Amino acid sequence: MLSTRRIKVLIRSALLLCPLLGAPLVQAATPADALLIGQVAEPQSLDPQVATAANDSRILVNMYDGLVRNGEGKLDIEPALATRWEISPDGLTYRFHLRDNVRFHDGTPFNAEAAKFTFDRMIDEKNPWHDTGPFPLSFFFSSIQSIDTPDEQTLVFHLKEPFAPFLSNLATPTGLIVSPSAVKKYGKDFGRHPVGTGAFQFGEWRANQRVVVTANASYWDGKPAVSTVVFRPITDGNTRVAEMLSGGIDAMVEVPPDTVKLFAEQRKRFRLYETTGPHVWYVMLNAQVPPFNDVRVRQAVNYAVNKQSLVDNILQGSADVADGPIPAAFSWAANPDVKAYPYDPQKARDLLKAAGAEGATLTFYVTEGGSGMLDPVPMATAIQADLKAVGLNVKIETYEWNTYLSKVNAGLTPQTHMAEMAWMTNDPDTLPFLTLRTEAWPKKGGFNSGYYSNPQVDALLEKARLTTDNAERGQLYRQVQQIVHNDAPWLFVANWKQNAVTSTRINHFSLQPNFNLLLNRVTKQ
């Protein structure tokens, strides 16, 4: 529960911020109807093929379009830059019919060649613009064998083999279509000069201050209701709350759990939004080095941590306890027979003793904040205390989000035993395929930074990708869930119920199950 002292501190901070809101730097070029969004971190890149964080995606989906997209409020696939498509009976050919008379923000035409350029740049190492990467999620499209453009409005993908998540992957930010002219003009700096076809076009990016986008008056899906959106990186949760209370921002994402009640009770000033989505917060365990190369130690950590207490007391009920890598939001693929590890410190001690790991010293990488990371420092501190109670000595090292990503995505070193991470996905394939396969070890281009490896999991994930029958896919993912739960390559912690808060001046705002923000319908009074 939010303490009276904490409320007073936040309100006092908000009052102190009020004079700053009139400062020339903030207000000079900001229109009265501008929508001010408090983000959780500075973007990594505004190149959709380079960026990987949901924090960046919330900006990207408003500047770019894909061939397809997730419908508002759902994970279903619907037309975007493609108006319709056909899939061959063998699942190897996808023919897309493209929207007429669409232009990029730089005035150049969107057509089949432009769409082909986007994918060739990612997946063809010989492409002259491949060096504008890196493209960490390009293997979303590794099944593509070739791309044809029979005419300006037709794009045909030929796949090497059937690939069930293909349409879902096209709807991710990695599938957003970029302007070939802008990429050729800016090269590696394209991420600082983004050009798409979306509802908003790029205005400016002032490092650690704001990203500004302006309405695309000729947007194919209707001109946005607000003229300008300003995304402000406010890493510290308390500062983000204070800005919201003072009116410095109109909306904020990822509300700190202990302030949710504060906003919920002030209905005349604020609207609180909450929705469930496919999110997993976990701690990866370095399976390549002692003591976590022993499954008994990995299981011991899962028994040692009181995850229900984390969810109830630190996250204030804003999440559920996780039981594996496939969240329950994917009801057709989740395994109802897999239950979360219970809190059992004595079982943890017994396993540690059997493995000879009593008294081990562990290094734990922790981020100060970041998209989907919930309340990472308090959570880490609680985990540290629970592990100490069973005889493990945990040393925490904290880093700013983008620095943290660069360290963790490169793979845990032998000196690093644990690291926090969170993923939001739109298909049950995504998280395990990117983070649990042997071929997803960092040196091979993936995000399996803990170096987990199980040939049976590898085979099941590969088979699920080739299976177009959803019922069969679901059965394969349920097997993956069971095996990974038993192998415990992670400390499974939480599935977040994402949230946001807006001023009551903001209307038509909604949260999306894929954790993006669609702002073209939002209005500001």
Q: Which two tokens stand for residue 373?
A: 């990371």
Q: What is the chain's mean pLDDT, rounded?
A: 92
pLDDT at 229: 98
Cβ pair 77, 70 in contact under 8 A? yes
% of the chain surpassing 70 pLDDT: 94
Q: Clarify whether residues 305 and 272 are in a common domain.
A: no
Q: Clarify whether residues 268 and 285 are in a common domain.
A: no
Given a cut of 90, is residue 34 above it in pLDDT?
Answer: yes
Q: Clarify whether residues 407 and 519 are in a common domain.
A: no
Specify if 58 maps to a domain: no
Q: Clarify whether residues 225 and 162 are in a common domain.
A: no
CA distance 363 to 407: 14
Which CATH number fits the domain that encloses residue 518?
Answer: 3.40.190.10
Higher pLDDT, 242 or 371: 242
Given a cut of 70, is residue 11 above it in pLDDT?
Answer: no
Which CATH number fits the domain that encloses residue 69?
Answer: 3.90.76.10
Cβ pair 29, 128 in contact under 8 A? no
Give whole-number Cα distances, 172 to 50, 60, 169, in Å. 12, 10, 5
Q: Clarify whether residues 215 and 141 are in a common domain.
A: no
pLDDT at 120: 98
The pLDDT confidence band at residue 1, using thresholds 50, 70 and 90, is: very low
Largest interatomic CA distance in the chain: 68
The reported pTM is: 0.76
Cβ pair 384, 394 in contact under 8 A? yes
Query: What is the tally of structural domains in the chain?
Result: 3
Which among 65, 77, 253, 38 is positioned nearest to 173, based on CA atoms?
65
The pLDDT confidence band at residue 4, using thresholds 50, 70 and 90, is: very low
Beta bridge partners of 397: 365
Q: Clarify whether residues 445 and 334 are in a common domain.
A: yes
Given a cut of 80, is residue 382 above it in pLDDT?
Answer: yes
Q: Clarify whether residues 358 and 445 are in a common domain.
A: yes
Q: Hey, how many other C-beta atoms are within 10 angstroms of the C-beta on 492?
A: 24
Beta bridge partners of 159: 144
How confident is the model over 90-110, as a mean pLDDT? 97
Given a cut of 60, is residue 389 above it in pLDDT?
Answer: yes
The pLDDT confidence band at residue 29, using thresholds 50, 70 and 90, is: low
- Residue 370 region, left (φ>0) first, then alpha (ψ -120 to 50), else beta? left
| Range with the poorest average pLDDT among 213-222, 298-307, 367-376, 414-423 | 367-376
Given a cut of 60, is residue 201 above it in pLDDT?
Answer: yes
How confident is the model over 208-218, as a mean pLDDT? 97
Residue with tokens 């949901």: 54
The pLDDT confidence band at residue 354, using thresholds 50, 70 and 90, is: very high
Last-in-domain residue among 149, 184, 219: 184
pLDDT at 257: 82
Q: Clarify whether residues 299 and 442 are in a common domain.
A: yes
The pLDDT confidence band at residue 224, using thresholds 50, 70 and 90, is: very high
Specify if 220 maps to a domain: yes
Domain around 446: 279-496
Specify if 357 maps to a domain: yes
Residue pLDDT, tens place only, 455-471? 999 999 999 998 878 89
The pLDDT confidence band at residue 371, using thresholds 50, 70 and 90, is: confident
Number of helices (H), then strands (E), in the chain? 16, 20
Last-in-domain residue among 161, 184, 207: 184
| Range with the poorest average pLDDT among 17-21, 191-195, 484-488 | 17-21
The pLDDT confidence band at residue 75, using thresholds 50, 70 and 90, is: confident
Q: Clarify whether residues 367 and 482 are in a common domain.
A: yes
The pLDDT confidence band at residue 250, using thresholds 50, 70 and 90, is: very high
pLDDT at 495: 93
pLDDT at 425: 85
pLDDT at 17: 45
Specify if 475 maps to a domain: yes
Q: Clarify whether residues 69 and 207 are in a common domain.
A: no
pLDDT at 18: 41
Which CATH number fits the domain that encloses residue 360?
Answer: 3.10.105.10
**Residue 38: partners with Cβ closer than 8 Å, 6 or more residues away:** 232, 234, 240, 243, 244, 249, 251, 252, 253
Residue pLDDT, tens place only, 114-162? 999 999 999 999 999 999 999 999 989 999 999 999 999 999 999 999 9
CA distance 103 to 322: 44
Specify if 15 maps to a domain: yes
How confident is the model over 342-350, as a mean pLDDT? 98
The pLDDT confidence band at residue 426, using thresholds 50, 70 and 90, is: confident
Last-in-domain residue among 133, 160, 184: 184
Q: Clarify whether residues 9 and 104 are in a common domain.
A: no
Q: Clarify whether residues 492 and 503 are in a common domain.
A: no
Specify if 59 maps to a domain: no
Specify if 50 maps to a domain: no
Given a cut of 50, is residue 22 above it in pLDDT?
Answer: no
Residue pLDDT, tens place only, 472-518? 999 999 999 999 999 999 999 999 888 899 999 999 999 888 888 99
Given a cut of 50, is residue 279 above it in pLDDT?
Answer: yes
Specify if 299 maps to a domain: yes
% of the chain surpassing 90 pLDDT: 79
Cβ pair 105, 164 in contact under 8 A? no
